[in-house]
Each structure stands twice: as structure tokens, then as C-alpha cells.
């Protein structure tokens, strides 16, 4: 069964909890495992509403457990709010908050220590792909931003140029990159690296999900825009079955 993760980014007010409930209500028959990462303001309410039906997660966390870090949220606080996973190193945070590989790795280790599963995002820009640098860039991100162990780790391959654009890579390019990531995970973690789920992310929609989810080594999807409404997230889950 594929893992379909919705990333709401900075979208959603309390009224959007109705979408969480609709996804949770359909979870048993969805055809995929469903996780949702609402904004931090909704994590606790979403987790309360979802119960054990779907996992609720955060979109970022700090690498320290507590302390003088105004505006930040720790992994332990996410756990306390009911979160079960956290997305780390999304390309929007790498670009807009200047997050380095080393910082993302520190966050990933902190999140694992707190008991959260971690989704570490990697992906190249269009200029990097056009310049033949896609594997070098993704390889560097894997080298620098992963946690020390494979347990509880999920990697999301998200080509930056496919996020929110409606463009998706050719299936052969997705297959090649997922194969490359798998090889790097096995080289780093041994057999445990063979078990890490590798998600594809970038303009996954109900009408392209079946094709993308059938690509070798694609274990599921990280979905932005199409995760905001339960209907479209559930349609992606059904198409991936
Ligand atoms: C994302 O930002 O993780 C993402 C995949 O967004 P979208 O599905 O909107 O391209």
C-alpha cells in the first residue's frame, strides 16, 4: 500500500478541520495509507479529530528540545500536540529560510529522538537538471541532511521545478532518480536503506497519480495543492491503489 502525505503548507484555518475529518473518515477504504501535515496552528486539533485513523504531522521543527527560540516549535512539542511525523528540508524552507543540509540533519536526529517519523525532502532546481547536475545535487542533499539511522526515515524526492507548477518529470526520470536514491540509502544504511520509503512529490494530482505511483521505487506521494481538499487527496489515494 502506498503512503500518501498531504502538506498543507501555510494554508488552512479551523474550518479546514472538516477536510481532516473527511479524510480520516475515509481512511479505512482509501486504498493508501494517509498522512496529513496541516499548519502548526491546527496540529493539535487535527490530531484530536483524526485519532488513530490517519497520522497528523508537522511541517518543520527545531533541533533543540526547549529553550530561547522565539517562534520555533520543537519535535517534543509536536509529539505533545499529537503529531506522529514531521516534514523536514522542504525546498521552500531550504530556499526561503536558508536551511542547510547540516541543520536539516540535526532536526532529523532531534525528531527521531523525540519519536517522530521524519520525511526528509530532496530535489534539484530546473537549472540544476538542465545543467546535468540533478544526481550530484540530490546526492549531496542525501549525504548532508539525513539522520544517523534509517529507522523511521522517509525520503521525498521533489524536483523543485515540479512543485506547484503542474509540470511533472518523465516517468523514466522519476525511475532513474528513485533508483539513485535507493542505491545511496543502501550504501549508507545497509539493508535498512532498502526498506526506506521514497516518496515522489511535485504536482501530483488525481489524473497523474496512477502513472507516477506505478514507477519503480516510488512508495507514495508528497502532495501539496491537491491535498487541501479531501476529495482530491482521496482520489489520489484511490488512483495509487
Ligand atoms: C510540495 O510542495 O511538497 C508539493 C508537492 O506541492 P504540489 O503538490 O502543490 O506541487
Q: How many CB atoms lie within 10 A of CB 34?
A: 26
pLDDT, position 108 = 98
Q: Which of 99, 128, 158, 217 is catalytic?
A: 158
Ligand 1 atom nearest the C-alpha of 162 is 10
3-state SS class at 153: strand
CB neighbour burial string for 206-219, b if at least 16 within 10 angstroms, e if fewer: bebbeebbebebbb
Distances (CA, A) of 53 to 47, 212, 225: 10, 25, 22
Question: What confidence tens digit (pLDDT) does each residue in 169-206 have?
Answer: 999 999 999 999 999 999 999 999 999 999 999 999 99
Place of cell 544517523: 148
pLDDT, position 126 = 98
Taking only Cα atoms into account, the Rg of the chain, rounded to an integer number of angstroms, comes to 17
Domain with 197 in it = 3-240
pLDDT, position 84 = 98
Dihedral angle over CA of 174, 180, 185, 188, nearest 10: -160
pLDDT, position 29 = 97
- The closest of 139, 157, 134 to 222, measured between CA atoms, is 157
Place of cell 502525505: 5
Mark the ranges of the chain whose per-residue pLDDT is less than 70.
none
220-223 and 33-37 as β-strands: parallel, antiparallel, unpaired? unpaired
pLDDT, position 149 = 98
pLDDT, position 55 = 98
Q: What angle do CA 124, 160, 95 make, to 5 degrees?
A: 90
pLDDT, position 77 = 98
Q: How does DSSP classify residue 89?
A: -
The answer to whether 175 and 214 are in contact (CB under 8 A) is no
- The closest of 143, 146, 178, 145 to 159, measured between CA atoms, is 178
For the whole model, what pTM was predicted? 0.98
Q: CB under 6 Å to ligand 1: residues?
A: 7, 158, 163-164, 201-204, 222-226
Report how far ligand 1's centroid is from the alpha carbon of 68 (Å).
32
CATH number at residue 79: 3.20.20.70
C-alpha cell recorded at residue 162: 515540479
> How many domains are there within the chain?
1
Q: How far apart are the first and last CA of the chain?
A: 7
C-alpha cell recorded at residue 198: 521514497
Give yes or no: 158 in active site: yes
pLDDT, position 220 = 98
Report how far ligand 1's centroid is from the alpha carbon of 204 (Å).
7
Q: Which of 90, 92, 124, 178 is catalytic?
A: 90
Amino acid at each position: 500500500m502506498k503512503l500518501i502525505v498531504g502538506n498543507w503548507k501555510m494554508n488552512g484555518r479551523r474550518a479546514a478541520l472538516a477536510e481532516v475529518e473527511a479524510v480520516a473518515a475515509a481512511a479505512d477504504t482509501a486504498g493508501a495509507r494517509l498522512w496529513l501535515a496541516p499548519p502548526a496552528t491546527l496540529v493539535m486539533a487535527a490530531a484530536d479529530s483524526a485519532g488513530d485513523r490517519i497520522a497528523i504531522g508537522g511541517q518543520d521543527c527545531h533541533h533543540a528540545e526547549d529553550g530561547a527560540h522565539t517562534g520555533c516549535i520543537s519535535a517534543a512539542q509536536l509529539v505533545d500536540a499529537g503529531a506522529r511525523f514531521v516534514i523536514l528540508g522542504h525546498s521552500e524552507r531550504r530556499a526561503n529560510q536558508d536551511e542547510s543540509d547540516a541543520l536539516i540533519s540535526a532536526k532529523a536526529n532531534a525528531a527521531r529522538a523525540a519519536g517522530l517519523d521524519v520525511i526528509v525532502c530532496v530535489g534539484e532546481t530546473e537549472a540544476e537538471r538542465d545543467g546535468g547536475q540533478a544526481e550530484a545535487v540530490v546526492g549531496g542533499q542525501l549525504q548532508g541532511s539525513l539522520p544517523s539511522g534509517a529507522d523511521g526515515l522517509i525520503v521525498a524526492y521533489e524536483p523543485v521545478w515540479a512543485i506547484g507548477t503542474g509540470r511533472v518529470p518523465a516517468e523514466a526520470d522519476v525511475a532513474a532518480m528513485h533508483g539513485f536514491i535507493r542505491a545511496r540509502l543502501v550504501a549508507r544504511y545497509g539493508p535498512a536503506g532498502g526498506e526506506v520509503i521514497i516518496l515522489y512529490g511535485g504536482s501530483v494530482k488525481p489524473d497523474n497519480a496512477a502513472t507516477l505511483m506505478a514507477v519503480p521505487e516510488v512508495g507514495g506521494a508528497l502532495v501539496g495543492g491537491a491535498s487541501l481538499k479531501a476529495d482530491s487527496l482521496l482520489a489520489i489515494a484511490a488512483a495509487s491503489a
